[in-house]
Structure formats: structure tokens, C-alpha cells
Amino acid sequence: MFIAGNWKMNGTVAQARDLAQALVNGLPDGAPATAIFPPAIHLAAVHDIIKDSPIFMGGQDCSSAENGAHTGDLSVAMLADIGARGVIVGHSERRTDHGESNEAILGKVKAAQSAGLGAVLCVGETLDERQSGRAETVVQSQLAACLPTTFDSGSVVIAYEPVWAIGTGMVATVQDISAMHSMIRQWLQAHRPEIADTFILYGGSVKAANAADVFGADEVGGALVGGASLKSDDFLGIIAAAMKA
């Protein structure tokens, strides 16, 4: 299992330090792989806290460019230099807020690979796409367009995050999660066999109270958690549920 907390655009540096420290203190022995994705401006402070712990951290986005005239962007080399070991790419909030295309996201996955960072590639359908029966084809086309055809140093993890379940309190049913995750596994086996065994995370309103159900679904290798990753007790509750699953 792999449990990841996406802190999104929340908190102060003091809050980021406190949250990271509470996770370091509270992480039980035998916990699954645990990662946190703080705002970029808090990465250095968080790294100071977690550096001798099993928790690792990543960025919430990266540029596909190596360096240069890209105001406001962060390169994978900068992320690696500050102690990040991974990066989220293609989150639906980036797709919506910044118009990120599948093609742009492919460039980011490749950049992460080149720096030896683990990419957490987010895919997922909108409510309209699900209601019109297109959920699986949308996710397949995102996978096809955003995943390189060859893989080198960095790992790639898939996060299935139905857009309508993010921050809404609505969680996909265990049946829907099982169906989508099984489809993703089969798609990877058929089209990207090099990463066919990778973690497939579920994301979208995961909380300690529903985590056991989510982890009981087929082919769920963990969770990408937003809101509930901002409180240490909630996030540690999800980790505890993963340990029981």
C-alpha cells in the first residue's frame, strides 16, 4: 500500500512543520509507504522535519522544461535538490485551473522520470463523463496520452481520482472503484507492461471513516488524500486502515 497526502494550497510554514512533525511522531511501525505533497514553498521546511523518517515528500506539480525562462515554474531538478522524491502530475485541479493538456502532462511525467522522481499521475472523469457512460474511455485516453511508452529511472504510480468525488464528500462506490481500478490494471498490462505492477491509488473524499471500504475494492493500492491529509489524526487514521486492509 501507498498512502499519499496532497496538501494542496493550504497552511503556513509553521502549520506545515507542525503537521509534518505530528506525522513523524505518529507514524506506526510497519506503516505502508507514506508520502506528503506540501505546497512548494513549504518543501524545504518540511524536509527538515521528515528527512530522518520513513515519510517522503514530493511536489504538487513540475515543469516539463529543464530550466530557463519559465516564470513561476519549478523544475524537477529543483524539486529533487530540495529533497523531493516524487511529484504529482496531471491533477484535475491543474487540468482545470491551468488548462493542462494530456500532452503537457506527458512532458511532466517524462521530466520526472529524467530526474529519478516518482510521478503520481492523476486520471479521472468528470460527473458529466460518468453520467454519459464515458468514464472508462476517458480514463483510458488519459493513460494512453499521459504515460510514456518507455520508462527509465523514476517510478510511476497511477491515482484514479473521479473529479466529482474530489472535495465533495461523495465517494465512488466500492463497485465503481473496483471496476475502474481493474480496468486500469488490465490497460497497463496490455499497453505499458513495464509499469503493470505499479500502485493504483484511489483519490476523492477518502477519510478514516470510509478508508476501509475503499481499500477493500479490487486493485486499490492506497489512497491520494486531500482534505483529510491536513489533520494528522485523520491522515494517521487512514494509514491505520491501510495497515488492517
Binding site for ligand 13P (CB under 6 A): 6, 91, 161, 166-167, 203-206, 224-228
C-alpha span between 241 and 168 (Å, rounded):
21
Asked if 6 and 37 count as a contact pair (C-beta separation under 8 A), the reply is yes
- Our CB check for ligand 13P shows the closer of 9 and 190 to be 9
Catalytic residue among 91, 93, 100, 129: 91
C-alpha span between 84 and 90 (Å, rounded):
17
Catalytic residue among 125, 129, 161, 219: 161
- Our CB check for ligand 13P shows the closer of 40 and 77 to be 40
In the annotation, is 136 catalytic? no
Q: Which residues contact 212 (CB under 8 A, 6 or more apart)?
A: 241, 244, 245
Evaluated on CA atoms 70, 124, 170, 203, the torsion sign reads negative
Question: Which three cell numbers mark 78?
Answer: 529543483
Least distance in Å: CB of 206 to ligand 13P?
5
- Our CB check for ligand 13P shows the closer of 143 and 166 to be 166
Question: Which three cell numbers mark 9?
Answer: 494550497
C-alpha span between 10 and 16 (Å, rounded):
9
- Our CB check for ligand 13P shows the closer of 194 and 215 to be 215
Least distance in Å: CB of 128 to ligand 13P?
18
Least distance in Å: CB of 170 to ligand 13P?
9
Asked if 202 and 209 count as a contact pair (C-beta separation under 8 A), the reply is no
In the annotation, is 103 catalytic? no
Least distance in Å: CB of 61 to ligand 13P?
12
Q: How many CB atoms lie within 10 A of CB 192?
A: 19
Least distance in Å: CB of 130 to ligand 13P?
16
- Our CB check for ligand 13P shows the closer of 65 and 240 to be 240
Asked if 210 and 4 count as a contact pair (C-beta separation under 8 A), the reply is no
Q: Which residues contact 211 (CB under 8 A, 6 or more apart)?
A: 223, 237, 238, 241, 242
Instruction: Report, as residue numbers or ranges, the catalytic residues.
Output: 91, 161
